[in-house]
Amino acid sequence: MKNIAVVGTGYVGLVTGVCLADLGHHVICIDVDEEKVSQMRKGHSPIYEPQLEDLMKKNIEEGRLTFTTNHAWGIRNMDVIFLAVGTPQQQDGSADLSYVQRAVNDIAQHINRDVVVVNKSTVPVGTNESIQQYFNQHVGELGQVDVVSNPEFLREGSAVYDMFHGDRIIIGADNEDAALLVEELYRRLKLPVVKTDIRSAEMIKYASNAFLATKISFINEISSICEKVGANIEDVAYGMGKDRRIGTQFLQAGIGYGGSCFPKDTNALVQIAGNVEHKFDLLESVIHVNNRQQLLLVKKAKERLGSLHGKRVAMLGLAFKPNTDDIREAASVVVANELIQEGAYVTAYDPIAMTNAAKVLNIEFANSVVEALQEADVALIITEWDEFKQLPLNTYSEHMRVPIVFDGRNCYTLEAVQEAYLEYHSIGRPVVGEVDLNKYLYIQNFLSEHG
């Protein structure tokens, strides 16, 4: 078992540190935020991620997991130092490496022995070689530093599961001994290991996310054609997925991808290509399709109602995907802002993500689905939470002013919707139960006036 430091306790760093501790290593997680570290020492996770907090508490109690703001104490005498800091997107789409540079500088100041630095941050091709050169110039005789690229492939909402049940472990290194040491850290997982040079490992991360984003935008384009020709995207995707060369994953039509990885990494890869004078036409189109897709529900609702001005809109879901509180690059932010621009009154509900959403959205928030739907003229399903998928469909007609639902995640079967009194618009499928608005509102007003 090794002594490991993890610099950065964001999504990747915290999950990596906690899971490595659970594999039996002694792990110190380092962060600059005193309050955050104080809470993590008590076993409180700063992010919502299934299973993570339980594993934190277990490994803290068993003495394998520690948190600190003291870089000197956390870095000295370590066998391995993981670099897991953010690389946010800059204005031009490229990755901001300032956090990486700061962390590398901190590590260099406190190394006192031979050590392997494992970079899990997503960085442009060639970055790890630059980090190696920096250590060579600044560490001197205090110790030999070998840099290894070990990109992460953790899905938010299932990151702990992915850490223990991943498809592969990528190790990019120029030093075979360093690569073997990193491989040994993961030995108990018994996962396939792919060893490459450092630059190839860096590219694998970007290429993987870009390909998955491409599948999403492709199936969303097909869904738009399905609506126009009268086909059902679910049948189409099922038939495509039976081809083993294509597979079933990432063929679910919807309102596009979001989160901290796909948007950032696709834009960064376009920038990387541009830096070597290669115009990545395909990926630029993927990004364009996704940006357009995020506004699809607003476009559909506006076409159906004529105008959204003065309409009460219920938004169900704010997180970019279920089982996370992350709203980074979430469709909900784009949708809410567009609805406000159209003059709509927006009330939103999400089981987990409302606290984060309140930091960036100036809308009303409800405490339940029913409260969000109350007297709404239209409902938009943004995130496919189980709570929404399991909702009795008569809930919409019982609480909405007009039971018109635009489902951005195809949460319900068309057969189930046909049994409910509901006008239902989904992605790439036929409209079900179209309501005569004038007749419906006349009846509602009559009943209201006459009890």
Contacts of 355 (CB under 8 A, 6+ apart): 325
- Going from the N-terminus, what domains does the chain have, and what CATH number goes with each? 3-196 (3.40.50.720), 205-288 (1.10.1040.10), 295-449 (3.40.50.720)
Note whether 41 and 84 are within 8 A (CB): no
Note whether 84 and 12 are within 8 A (CB): yes
Distance between terminal CA atoms of the chain?
73
- pLDDT value of residue 155: 94
Query: Which two structure tokens, joined as six digits, stand for 361?
Result: 């959205």
Cα–Cα dist 100/83, whole Å: 8
Q: Is 258 annotated as a binding residue?
A: yes
Note whether 293 and 256 are within 8 A (CB): yes
Query: Which two structure tokens, joined as six digits, stand for 257?
Result: 């991808």
Q: Is 250 annotated as a binding residue?
A: yes
Q: What is the DSSP annotation of 242-264? A: TSTTT-STT---SS---TTTHHH
Q: Is 36 annotated as a binding residue?
A: yes
Q: Is 254 annotated as a binding residue?
A: yes
* Per annotation, catalytic residue among 29, 226, 261, 411: 261
- pLDDT value of residue 440: 58
Note whether 329 and 291 are within 8 A (CB): no
- pLDDT value of residue 435: 72
Q: Is 251 annotated as a binding residue?
A: yes
Note whether 103 and 111 are within 8 A (CB): no
Q: Is 29 a catalytic residue?
A: no
- pLDDT value of residue 344: 98
Distances (CA, A) of 359 to 66, 348, 355, 366, 412: 30, 14, 7, 15, 31
Please calculate the CA angle 362-363-368 and round it to the nearest 5 degrees. Answer: 140
Q: Is 153 annotated as a binding residue?
A: yes
Cα–Cα dist 390/27, whole Å: 40
Helix axes 127-138, 198-229, angle to 10 degrees: 150
pTM: 0.92
Cα–Cα dist 418/442, whole Å: 23
- pLDDT value of residue 139: 85
Note whether 389 and 411 are within 8 A (CB): yes
Pairing type for strands 378-381 and 80-83 reads unpaired
**What's the half-sphere exposure (Cβ side, CA atoms, 13 Å) at 32?**
5
Contacts of 413 (CB under 8 A, 6+ apart): none
Mean pLDDT in order along the chain per 10 residues (451 residues): 96 97 98 96 96 98 97 94 94 92 94 94 96 91 90 95 96 97 97 98 97 98 98 98 96 96 95 96 98 97 96 98 95 98 98 97 98 97 98 96 97 95 96 74 55 55
User: Strand order in 312-316's β-sheet?
Assistant: 364-365, 345-349, 312-316, 378-381, 404-407, 423-425
Q: Is 156 annotated as a binding residue?
A: yes
Q: Is 143 annotated as a binding residue?
A: no
Please calculate the CA angle 293-403-429 and round it to the nearest 5 degrees. Answer: 40
- Written in H, E and C, the secondary structure of 365-385 is ECCCHHHHHCCCCEEEECCCC
Per DSSP, 421 falls in state: S
Q: Is 120 annotated as a binding residue?
A: no
